[in-house]
Structure 1
Amino acid sequence: MPTGVRRRGEVLAPDEGWERGAANAGVEDPRTTWVPSLGAAGTHVMTYVAYGPLGPKPALAVSTDLEHWTRLGPVQMAYQPDLDTDLNLFPNKDVVWFPEVVPDPDGVPSYAVLHRPMWDLGWIRPGETTHLPAGVDDERPGIWISYVEAAAAQADLSALTRPRKHRVLAMPEFDFEALKIGAGPPPVRVAEGWLLLHHGVVGYVPPGFDPTTQQVSYAAGAMLLDPEDPSRVLARTSEPLMSPETDDERTGVVSNVVFPTAIEEVDGVTYVFYGMADAKIGVARLERLR
């Protein structure tokens, strides 16, 4: 099992104005997806949270070697009239790309991205309340999916910053997800469809955005998405696959956190790398992936 980390410096820091606020700055929660069909020899696409003047917003950077990264900039969600709102007005996190081209809702070959908009504007405008889009009747944060046409992204990588055709993928459903859910690592193609690990949260989050004041518990679950329509959930776990159990998972910057963010095969064995109480990196073996 992989153990130990050798730090080699930073690849991105909050150097851009849109990554810095008056009293905060952040290049946070990075997740990378290797996309073989982008670029001449494939491209690593990093999503991260730019914690700037308007709170947490998704942003993208790309690399061919995992050492040198080029920012594509903030993600600008295309306006969608049937939502009766602009998703760019809201904080958004837990953003991750599929590694392969998939059909969009109209059957167009596309790159799909998962994200989690949050409707409580009190984070960035004290006194504001929740503003739900048309057709959304649950204010809890859930997983959404959006798309970028493959031909456009293959012609110009900056097209990845302009997703469209937004729709809800999954909302909290089971006890371990009662407060909110969010995507974990990039989805993995398995025989039955797309395997998505996600986190579910229970507990209480006070007003504002200070994770250290939260009284929550994060656990890991899984969903299986339809390969012909990845916005359709075929199955999901009703109980968590992993919950905070060890001392390192129970005590840290934010206690009681198991937060999966990467899946990697090492020497023929598949591992899940996950955050432990926002203080350490844990690793678990993922059995029977294929």
Structure 2
Amino acid sequence: MSELKLQRLCQIMEPEPGNPMEVEGVLNPAAVRGPDGKLYLFPRMVAKGNYSRIGIARVLFNDAGDPTGVERLGIALEPETDYELRSDGSGGCEDPRITFVEPLQHYVMAYTALSPNGPRCALAVSEDLLHWKRIGLATFEPYDGIDFVHVDNKDASIFPVAIPNHAGKMQFALLHRPLFQGTRPEETIFQSKSRVVDIDRESIWISYCPMTLEGLEPYHISLFNSHHRLATPVSPWERLKIGVGTPPIMSRHGWMIIYHGVCEISETSKDVPQLRYSSGIMVLSKDHPQTIYYRSVEPVLEPELQKELYGTVPNVVFPTGIDRRDDLDKPDRFDIYYGMADNRIGVARLDLPEFLPDEGVADPPEAKV
């Protein structure tokens, strides 16, 4: 079994007592270095009725360079637009992932907008991390009869640079996980363990923006017209669902993401099934990111602590933020920020070895476009 595991550092954030905007939890943060070199978290803050905002917090470190806590700075986004609000007064801006897109010299936030039609991928941009301008909902042209626009879609993140598409053309790309009817883990759990995975409707997808790079402005990154399956559930720990976790970040081995996988708990009741959200590592080719070089056979982080086993949604570790520790001259160290049972935020450390374990799996050829 692989020794490639995450080492927990601490719980870094929990709901602030007396703060009505956090009464139902703080979770699933983006993590990104600001223009000042400091690390900022953008947690999902949940008020009564599952009404979510995206906050801003500065990460505090001890003398050894390990994160120890946060300083709250305010709100980055709260529901305002028609695609973030519902007629009954509910709504939400949820689960952000933020990337500094180098050619644009802007930060791009991909987040989940809780629209009247269901969750959708939305985008916003900023120059300083403190002031954000909405681009709108990401739009997707159909692919081979698959309609991405009129289905729920979550877990989006954008690459920090243009990457080659299937034809070798350099384009900006978005990772996302459409939630087609019948593919939620609450639905797939009732299917046979030997079920056949629907590779079109149960995959993480990579979609490309057709705009030319020359003269491209941040608000142009909204239409995606070329789509390719990236990854499909393969291992038992992720057999019910996989989804993007942290934004892709360059490592010594290629583009790396920490993703989530869902399985059922073995002792669960047939009437009230229980799910377990764990985390794995996926490494994509630097030059051909549609190619998976490595993928965890076993989880690198799974619910074990009391605050991961019990909370708003039990048995959940949900990675969304990643920080490469260049500030410590340790480019092989990555700090992973993750939601704990949909109520708190933890941080764990990954030390990437010179060589990846041999047992890493990729998707079978038939699961690729």
Q: Distance in 1 between matches of 2:145 and 2:263?
A: 30
Question: Residue type matched to 1:258 in 2?
Answer: V
Match of 1:18 in 2: 83
Q: Which has the larger radius of gyration?
A: 2
CA contact (8 A) 1:101 1:110 kept: yes
Higher strand proportion: 2
Task: Mark the runs of 5 or more structure 1 residues left unpaired by the alignment.
Answer: 124-135, 205-212
Instruction: Determine whether 1:236 maps to 2:295.
Output: yes
Aligned residues between the structures? 265
Higher helix proportion: 1
Identity percentage of aligned residues: 40
Question: Residue type matched to 2:339 in 1?
Answer: G
Match of 1:72 in 2: 135
Question: Residue type matched to 2:302 in 1?
Answer: S
Q: Among 144, 156, 178, which residue is 2:217 paired with?
A: 156
Match of 2:277 in 1: 218
1:79-101: CA deviations, max 9, x gaps? 33xx2132101100000011122
Q: Among 330, 345, 350, which residue is 1:281 paired with?
A: 345
CA contact (8 A) 2:157 2:247 kept: yes
How does 1:140-289 map onto structure 2 within 5 Å? 141-149=202-210, 151-152=212-213, 154-203=215-264, 215-266=274-325, 267-268=327-328, 269-288=333-352
CA contact (8 A) 1:61 1:71 kept: yes
RMSD: 2.2
Normalised TM-score (structure 1): 0.85
1:199-240: CA deviations, max 9, x gaps? 001129xxxxxxxx9721111101111122211212211000
CA contact (8 A) 1:96 1:186 kept: yes
Normalised TM-score (structure 2): 0.68
Could you tell me how far 1:57 is from its partner in structure 2?
A: 0.3
Instruction: Determine whether 1:51 maps to 2:114.
Output: yes
1:105-156: CA deviations, max 9, x gaps? 1111111110000111899xxxxxxxxxxxx934763211001146348523
CA contact (8 A) 1:259 1:275 kept: yes
Name the structure, 1 or 2, with higher relative contact order (CA <8 Å, separation 6+). Answer: 2
How does 1:46-125 map onto structure 2 within 5 Å? 46-80=109-143, 83-120=144-181
Task: Mark the runs of 5 or more structure 2 residues left unpaired by the alignment.
Answer: 1-65, 185-196, 266-271, 355-369
Q: Among 59, 63, 68, which residue is 1:3 paired with?
A: 68
Question: Residue type matched to 2:125 in 1?
Answer: V
1:157-194: CA deviations, max 9, x gaps? 22211012111100110011011001111111123221
